[in-house]
């Protein structure tokens, strides 16, 4: 199999767990020489052994987490799950323009809006001021 020089993998929610696995597999299999990973609202993806292996091979990753989003807190670490590194925490609760709801804390548009206010919110998560 002929590899590529670099891939960029992005995912949200369950897709971010899958993106993490794809990033790792791309390096492990030799498909990519370099991988960048950006995840939003990722649940725990692996155990301590996986995280250690991931962090030794993927040096360019960012895991964006909304402080009040429940998805990044499952499944409970009690079962041995761990997060990969480079967490960037945002807090939509402090943004008066975003509804305070479980769905809105987890919405990709909320995450994107928190990083760049030029990204419009969907009607269901914006507060009419």
The catalytic residue positions are: 13, 69, 106
User: In this structure, what token pair is assigned to residue 52?
Assistant: 């250690």
Q: Where are the alpha helices (DSSP H) in 1-129?
A: 14-28, 48-57, 102-106, 108-115
Return d(Cα 18, Cα 36) in angstroms, integer: 14
Omega before residue 127 within 30° of 0, cis:
no
């Amino acid at each position: 199999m002929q590899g590529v020089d670099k891939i960029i993998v992005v995912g949200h929610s369950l897709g971010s767990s899958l993106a993490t696995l794809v990033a790792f597999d791309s390096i492990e299999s030799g498909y990519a020489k370099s991988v960048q990973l950006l995840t939003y609202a990722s649940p725990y993806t692996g155990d301590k052994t996986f995280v250690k292996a991931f962090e030794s091979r993927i040096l360019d990753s960012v895991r964006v987490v909304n402080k009040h989003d429940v998805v990044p807190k499952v499944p409970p670490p009690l079962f041995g799950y761990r997060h990969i590194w480079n967490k960037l925490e945002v807090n939509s609760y402090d943004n008066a323009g975003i509804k305070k709801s479980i769905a809105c804390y987890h919405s990709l548009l909320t995450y994107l809006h928190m990083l760049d206010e030029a990204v419009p919110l969907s009607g269901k998560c914006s507060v009419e001021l």
